[in-house]
Amino acid sequence: MPEAQQYYIGIDVGGTSVKLGLFDASGELLARESVPTPSLACAEGYAAVVGGIERLMGSQRQPMLFVRGIGLAIPCPVPASGVITVAANIEIDAPALMAALQDRCSGAAIRYVNDANAAAMGELWRGSARGHRSMVMVTIGTGLGGGVVVNGDVVDGAFGAGGEIGHMCVNPAEERICGCGRRGCLEQYASATGVVSNYLRACGRAGVEPVELAGPSDSRSVFDAARSGDAAALAAIDTTVDYLSLGLQIVSAVVDPEVYVIGGGASAGADLFLDALRERFAARAFPASSKCAIEVAELGNDAGIFGAAYVALRAVQREA
């Protein structure tokens, strides 16, 4: 099939909206759509997604036949087998949704991918890691997400836990419990919530009142305080950098990527921590890996649609 007749759809299924992007094979974003997230376990929900794809292709006056791949980024574990068994955060019947999409797009390869892993593939295709064959995405949001790319493909993991770097145990002595039920996860120190928690502990140690916080993951207020010289806020960021550099040291000893890409809401504080993170990582890393670059993500909230489309494109390339 000529490349001009190959279109790829990236779909990012979030809690409130389903975002869709239409891409050509070179990764140009040609059009975008968004629909409120329906139940993805009934005919109406499937029709809402198919309708979005129809509008995208219609906007370019292209037939549905030219949809060559569809990637769906979803907020649940996607094992390497593609068989989804756990869907904690959304209502989805993955096989039935895939069947409905295949029915309308018979020539398309359709793939699910975990949303954090999709973001990694997006940054690899058209973001900060463009041109690389391996990378690790570190998404510092409310929690700490990750995506590992090796040999150009994302590591889903045998049980769908590939890139779950927020739940590496980096402090077996921790007494507080992580959201996952275990203790000492990297996410407890290096996430928006971790920044706030590091800050409140630093205030406690220093016996000072914390600044007003909008909630338990309001890292923005901590970053603002740090920018005006607040000692407890600076100490909190130091703790975050300490654990994050430890985490990257560990990841490099496992998969040794070419580059790390830091994304997520808390990457807005990169001006405060990026230089320190690069220095401390270089000092801690296994010598060969210390040259690994650390960059800030470029695609923001679009990383999911880019990456989902790219996962589908890679599947088509592999099968060609």
Please name the amino acid found at residue 166. G
* Binder of a copy of itself out of 249, 260, 278, 295 (CB under 8 A): 249
* Binder of a copy of itself out of 165, 195, 262, 272 (CB under 8 A): 165
Q: Which residues of 144-178 are buried (b: 16+ CB within 10 A; e: fewer)?
A: bbbbbbeeebbbbbeebebbbbbbbebeeeeeeeb
Burial class (CB within 10 angstroms; exposed 0-12, middle 13-18, buried 19+) of 238: middle
Quick count: other Cβ atoms within 10 Å of Cβ 79? 18
* Residue 198 sits in the site that holds a copy of itself (CB under 8 A): no
φ and ψ at 33, to 5 degrees? -140, 165
Task: Provide the mask over 51-90, with x wherever binding to a copy of itself is found by CB under 8 A and - wherever it is not.
Answer: --------------------------x-xx-----x----
H or E segment at 58? helix 43-59
* Residue 256 sits in the site that holds a copy of itself (CB under 8 A): yes
CA dihedral 184, 188, 190, 191 (to 10 degrees): 150
- φ/ψ bin of 157: left (φ > 0), alpha (ψ from -120 to 50), beta (otherwise): left
Which lies closer to a copy of itself via its Cβ, residue 141 or residue 257?
257
Token code pair at residue 69: 């791949």
Which lies closer to a copy of itself via its Cβ, residue 36 or residue 172?
172
Task: Provide the mask over 98-127, with x wherever binding to a copy of itself is found by CB under 8 A and - wherever it is not.
Answer: ------------------------------
For residues 23 and 314, is the Cβ–Cβ distance under 8 A? no
* Binder of a copy of itself out of 251, 266, 272, 308 (CB under 8 A): 251
Stretch that binds a copy of itself, among 1-9, 59-67, 144-152, 195-203 (CB under 8 A): 144-152
* Residue 291 sits in the site that holds a copy of itself (CB under 8 A): yes
Which lies closer to a copy of itself via its Cβ, residue 56 or residue 109?
109
* Binder of a copy of itself out of 13, 92, 148, 203 (CB under 8 A): 148
* Binder of a copy of itself out of 15, 131, 172, 229 (CB under 8 A): 172
Stretch that binds a copy of itself, among 20-28, 92-100, 102-110, 251-259 (CB under 8 A): 251-259
Q: Helix or strand or coil: residue 235? A: helix
* Binder of a copy of itself out of 52, 69, 163, 210 (CB under 8 A): 163
Q: What angle do CA 185, 205, 275 make, to 5 degrees?
A: 60
Which lies closer to a copy of itself via its Cβ, residue 37 or residue 198?
198
Q: Helix or strand or coil: residue 11? A: strand
- Kindly list the distances between the CA atom of residue 107 and the CA atoms of 7, 47, 214, in Å, as whole numbers in the listed order: 11, 18, 48
* Binder of a copy of itself out of 57, 289, 302, 305 (CB under 8 A): 289
Which lies closer to a copy of itself via its Cβ, residue 11 or residue 78?
78
> Which residues ranging from 207 to 226 are in contact with a copy of itself (CB under 8 A)?
none
Question: What is the distance between the alpha carbons of residues 297 and 315, in angstroms, rounded to a whole number?
Answer: 24
CA dihedral 186, 188, 193, 194 (to 10 degrees): -80
Stretch that binds a copy of itself, among 55-63, 102-110, 142-150, 226-234 (CB under 8 A): 142-150
DSSP, res 269: G
* Binder of a copy of itself out of 169, 177, 206, 208 (CB under 8 A): 169
CB of 194 to a copy of itself, least distance (A): 16
Binding site for a copy of itself (CB under 8 A): 77, 79-80, 86, 133-134, 146, 148, 150-151, 153, 155-169, 172, 180-182, 246, 249-258, 284, 286-289, 291-292
